[in-house]
């Protein structure tokens, strides 16, 4: 399974690295990181650099493509060469996937029209602008499209994908290898569970950091 | 809170990036990646490069230090300059932490003598060689030492640490921001839950990949 993970300046590192850790653990799966240009990209907080070994333009096909989220993907939504590359990869892929606000990029490429999809809980409604039906879920499978909720949800999605593609035994072995037996010490990981003031705080902070994406939700501010 | 994450060739990416995503979300916390040398290190599967912005030797003090695991840390266990640096950082730290087999590095630095500690389920017994008491747990706090179980456990540990240091509200806000509401599609994340053949398979594969670390468990093969 030839797997390509798109990275870019301003991505959220865990969106990409969670699924990477799952995919790279599957025997025979080859994972490659690509970006607009070869070399370093910086994550959204700025304090970590990840290396893309090839520019995406050098990759003509993949069995599995993953688009992570992060504040930096606002500019990708209008990057026509990148969106055309995604459409081309999607034509030949077995799985086209995203984590967090990566689903907005799939949407901008026109890949979500009439499809059920999810993403970070703060950025579900903007999916409608791309003709998608937003769905609340840890991950949502619609045909070969597999979209995950925010950041950490990529781990769950990737294990699901491995189970679908190679079978539950391999997925269980990968899960055991990365000791994915989560026990969050708090229970505030979704707005349906978190105290209202915490939801308000995170919404305000995220909108302030990320005005480009939040304005997508408001058709008056295209 | 000045936070330093040590990276090195052959680290497991998620060990470092899971906690990074938590720490970097806390207002005012500064996270820096350091390595034996400035520049790129490759993860254990080889397909991802991470950037260290400074050599560790340039960092004289930190409030929080984190040592991830991975096959590559076998050589760290005998790297006296690195171990001396860890001891020096530990003298001034508020928290000294590890994920996965990173606890073996803390052990090799002499920081676990007489302490309760955990790590990846496959590499708990080797902790005894360093005078530690291995404990089965998602994370284990003993004084300022905080050690996490395998790979993905760093996320749980980091949220716990934020809760201890800044309070549960901030930890909950971070959890909500990274939408950490895990729903693993399988339930094989710990050997106490996984089917026996899966446990045997993962043990065999890991020992084959990682003979240096597994031999630590056997005093006949130092």
Ranges of each domain in chain B: 2-186
Q: How far apart are CA B160 and CA B182, in angstroms?
A: 16
What is the pLDDT at residue A215? 58
Tokens 């699924």 locate to A19
A194 has pLDDT over 80: yes
What is the pLDDT at residue B215? 59
B192 has pLDDT over 70: yes
Contact A134, A104 (CB under 8 A): no
Q: What is the pLDDT of residues A73-86, one digit of tens each?
A: 999 999 999 999 99
> Average pLDDT over chain A, rounded to whole?
94
What is the pLDDT at residue B57? 98
HSE, CB side, 13 Å, CA atoms: give it for residue A185. 25
Residue of A nearest to B137 (CA): A183
Which of A49, A151, A160 is closest, CB to CB, to B179?
A151
Residues B49, A45: C-beta atoms closer than 8 Å: no
Distance in Å, alpha carbon of B182 to nearest chain A alpha carbon: 7
B195 has pLDDT over 80: yes
Residue of B nearest to A200 (CA): B173
Torsion of CA B8, B10, B12, B18, to 10 degrees: 20
Contact B109, B98 (CB under 8 A): no
Strand, helix or coil at B25?
A: coil
Contact B13, B150 (CB under 8 A): no
What is the pLDDT at residue B219? 39
Q: Is A82 on the interface with B (CB under 8 A)?
A: no
What is the pLDDT at residue A219? 39
Q: What is the arithmetic mean of pLDDT over A17-43?
A: 97
B44 has pLDDT over 50: yes
What is the pLDDT at residue A14? 98
Confidence of residue A218 (pLDDT cuts 50, 70, 90): very low
* Alpha-helical runs (H) found in chain A: 13-23, 80-92, 102-108, 153-166, 168-177, 196-209, 211-215
Strand, helix or coil at A6?
A: strand
What is the pLDDT at residue B43? 95
Percent of chain B scored above 70 by pLDDT? Answer: 95
Q: Is A152 on the interface with B (CB under 8 A)?
A: yes
Confidence of residue A213 (pLDDT cuts 50, 70, 90): low
Q: What is the pLDDT of residues B77-98, one digit of tens each?
A: 999 999 999 999 999 999 999 9
CATH class label, A2-186:
alpha beta
Confidence of residue A216 (pLDDT cuts 50, 70, 90): low
What is the pLDDT at residue A220? 39
Higher-confidence residue of B67 and A222: namely B67
Residues A177, B202: C-beta atoms closer than 8 Å: yes
Residues B163, A185: C-beta atoms closer than 8 Å: yes
Confidence of residue B221 (pLDDT cuts 50, 70, 90): very low
Residues A190, B177: C-beta atoms closer than 8 Å: no
Cα B210 → chain centroid: 17
Q: What is the arithmetic mean of pLDDT over A166-191?
A: 97
In the residue annotation, B100 being an active-site residue is answered as yes
Distance in Å, alpha carbon of B13 to nearest chain A alpha carbon: 7
What is the pLDDT at residue A214? 56
- Name the residue among A43, A104, A186, A139 with its Cα closest to residue B176: A186
Token pair in block for residue A131: 């003709």
Q: What is the arithmetic mean of pLDDT over B36-41?
A: 97
B-chain CB neighbours of A168 within 8 Å are 186
What is the pLDDT at residue B222? 34
Token pair in block for residue A34: 């690509």
Mutate to test the interface with B, among A48, A139, A213 (most CBs of B within 10 A): A48
Q: What is the pLDDT of residues A54-100, one digit of tens each?
A: 999 999 999 999 999 999 999 999 999 999 999 999 999 999 999 99
Q: What is the pLDDT of residues B144-170, one digit of tens each?
A: 999 999 999 999 999 999 999 999 999
B-chain CB neighbours of A25 within 8 Å are 45
What is the pLDDT at residue A208? 82
> Average pLDDT over chain B, rounded to whole?
94
- What lies within 8 Å, CB to CB, of A153 at 6+ separation is A99, A100, A138, A139, B179, B181
A7 has pLDDT over 50: yes
Q: What is the arithmetic mean of pLDDT over B93-106?
A: 98
């Amino acid at each position: 399974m030839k797997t390509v993970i798109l990275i870019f300046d301003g991505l959220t590192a865990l969106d990409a690295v969670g699924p990477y850790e799952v995919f790279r653990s599957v025997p025979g799966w080859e994972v490659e990181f690509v970006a607009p240009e070869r070399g370093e990209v910086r994550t959204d907080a700025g304090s970590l650099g990840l290396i893309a070994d090839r520019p995406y333009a050098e990759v003509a096909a993949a069995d599995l493509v993953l688009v992570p989220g992060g504040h930096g993907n606002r500019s990708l939504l209008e990057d026509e060469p990148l969106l055309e590359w995604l459409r081309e990869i999607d034509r030949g892929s077995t799985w086209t996937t995203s984590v967090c606000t990566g689903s907005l990029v799939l949407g901008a490429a026109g890949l979500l029209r009439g499809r059920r999809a999810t993403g970070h809980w703060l950025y579900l409604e903007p999916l409608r602008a791309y003709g998608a039906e937003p769905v609340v879920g840890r991950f949502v499978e619609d045909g070969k499209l597999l979209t995950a909720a925010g950041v950490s949800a990529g781990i769950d999605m990737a294990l699901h994908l491995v189970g679908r593609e190679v079978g539950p035994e391999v997925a269980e072995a990968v899960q055991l290898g990365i000791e994915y037996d989560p026990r969050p010490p708090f229970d505030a990981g979704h707005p349906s569970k978190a105290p209202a003031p915490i939801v308000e705080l995170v919404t305000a902070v995220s909108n302030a950091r990320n005005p480009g994406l939040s304005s997508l939700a408001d058709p008056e501010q295209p």
